[in-house]
Amino acid sequence: MLDLEECLRYYFGTDSFRPGQRSAIEAILAGRDVLALWPTGAGKSLVYQMAAQLLPYLTLIVTPLVSLMFDQVRRLQAKGFDNAACLTSAQSREYNTQVLEAMRSGYLKTLFLTPERLNSDEFLVRLRDTPISLLTIDEAHCICQWGHDFRPEYLRLGKAIQVLQPRSILALTATATPAAQEQIACLLGLRHPLRLHLSLNRPNLEYSVKEVSRLEGREIALQHLYRREGLPAVVYINQRQECETTARYFCENGLRAAYYHAGMRPDERQAVQKSFLDDELQVITATTAFGMGVDKPNVRQVIHLTPSNSLEEYYQESGRAGRDGQEAHCLLLYSQQSFERAWGQLDERYPSAELLSDIYEALFSCTPAELRAHYLSLSPTSWRQTLNAILGFEHSNGELQPPQKPLENVSAYLNYLYSTDCQRLQAMQNYARGQRCRRSLLLEYFGEQTPGFCDKCDVCRPPTTLQPPDIRTRLWQKMYSLADSLTFRTASA
């Protein structure tokens, strides 16, 4: 019988498994599917990395970000696993050809790829004669959160699985409600999976919420940033322009800060991220574009100047604090206007019944350009959701085709998505305005039972009043910032 502890020492130089790891590996080796709901830092990656070395055939890992692939492959190869690789358009065609040859020869044991790549007909043909021991879906909550929106390829994974017929499927996520877990299992076609749930509680994180006016939010955030052990920090803001303005405000008050959002060029984002990871920046102001796959263990604070659209999103973003296990603070600042704006944006994402009917009929008569020009009033997200629903997630390269589903089905589907998004935003609003233990509200949303008291949130243990930094402190910080201004300008260019 295989001695897994001995294999663990041989491959990874570690003497003992973390909770859940051994059970997951044993189930995979026995050919079972596994659905693991594990928090950040629980050791999810070791499960498929070790299983890949012990299984006879190829292990595929689907992950949403190319940066995650490169980081994982780099770490595996640094440990001596030269039978690990990734396929991405960011690599040269010659290198990708070498990867495919290694896959066909059986030498490759671990292959990382995006859901878009896995759903490619050309790639599936290449895999036709390649047996798959394990298919891992990392960040599996994206099926529920992104699959209906701008990454419909997640919803198509079930069809790819039917073609590949992997011996086992491993679905990994840190944020999935009980209903989302059932949806993941259904869409991936998991067969009586072993469900491994570890507590999502992060005891080292302190949670607090404060209602503020639109104008005082930055000043309160600045006060928290000046707290002892308050840096480095991530400040999340929904609007790109506000990200830039707030970063400048922090710089004017003596902090080394820069902004990060999807409207920047890739090289600009990469420069800012690197400066933050290297501790050249103290604060990064960011939209939701920042964070996934960013491994910075010493973030001492995550501050939200605007509320997230869901508790799933908030848990992911706030959980980027304190990954080193040390004390860290998660602060949510919100105003009445911020939630009114969020509800308004949610309504704009979905077309009215009349507009949906017009789009449905226009698909039979308009060219793609005419149709797109005619409905420019739709937001890009709403446009994608509408077409995804009407075309049954089968359109590609923006080409339109006659509807594949009855209008009634499409309308019901969009109503379901709208209702789900409303429930998520309402849960976020309940968390912000709630008078119960913050930790309990957060964990109970994901199906955990809690004692209802944590002694580490503003409800269980009201915080002392923060005082703004005195003038001398601000002057000292400003002089320090000026001395490093060249670094900042380089990072935020």
Q: What is the DSSP letter of 17?
A: P
Name the percent of the chain lying above pLDDT 90: 49
All residues at 6 or more sequence positions from 70 whose CB lies less than 8 Å from its CB, including other chains: 86, 88, 90
- What's the rounded Cα separation, in Å, for the pair 103 and 87? 11
Instruction: Give the lowest-confidence range in 225-239, 284-298, 463-477.
Output: 463-477
Q: Which residues pair with 258 in a beta bridge?
A: 284
Average pLDDT of the residues in 46-64:
93
Q: Which two tokens stand for residue 349?
A: 């994402």
> Per-residue confidence at 343, pLDDT binned at 50, 70, 90?
very high
Q: What is the pLDDT of residues 279-325, one digit of tens each?
A: 999 999 999 888 776 778 999 999 999 999 999 999 999 999 999 99
**Pairing mode, if any, of strands 328-334 and 301-304?**
parallel
Q: Which of 290, 278, 312 is nearest to 234 (CA)?
A: 290
Could you tell me which residue, 283 or 155, shows the higher pLDDT?
283
- What's the rounded Cα separation, in Å, for the pair 488 and 483? 10
- What's the rounded Cα separation, in Å, for the pair 400 and 366? 9
Q: 261-264 contacts: CB < 8 A, separation 24 or more? A: 261/286, 261/287, 261/289, 261/290, 262/287, 262/289
All residues at 6 or more sequence positions from 127 whose CB lies less than 8 Å from its CB, including other chains: 163, 164
**Confidence (pLDDT) at 146:** 56
Average pLDDT of the residues in 328-341:
94
Q: Which of 171, 168, 112 is nearest to 138 (CA)?
A: 171
Written as one letter, the residue type at 244 is E
**Confidence (pLDDT) at 148:** 56
**Confidence (pLDDT) at 151:** 65
Average pLDDT of the residues in 21-37:
96
Written as one letter, the residue type at 7 is C
Could you tell me which residue, 468 or 370, shows the higher pLDDT?
370
**Pairing mode, if any, of strands 194-197 and 257-260?**
unpaired
**Confidence (pLDDT) at 477:** 47
Beta-carbon-side half-sphere exposure of residue 81 (alpha carbons within 13 Å) = 23
Numbers of helices and strands, H then E, in the chain: 22, 13
The 3-state secondary structure of 332-371, one letter per residue: EEECHHHHHHHHHHHHHCCCCHHHHHHHHHHCCCCCHHHH
End-to-end CA separation in angstroms for the chain: 58
Q: Which two tokens stand for residue 133?
A: 């021991």
Q: Which two tokens stand for residue 176?
A: 């999935």
What domains, with CATH codes, occur in the chain? 4-197 (3.40.50.300), 205-341+463-492 (3.40.50.300), 349-454 (no CATH)
**Pairing mode, if any, of strands 34-37 and 194-197?**
parallel
Residue 341 clears pLDDT 70, i.e. is over it: yes
- What's the rounded Cα separation, in Å, for the pair 155 and 20? 27
Element (H, E) at 4: helix 4-12
CA angle, 191 then 4 then 55, to 5°: 50
> Per-residue confidence at 42, pLDDT binned at 50, 70, 90?
confident
Mean pLDDT of the chain: 85
**Confidence (pLDDT) at 366:** 75
**Confidence (pLDDT) at 23:** 96
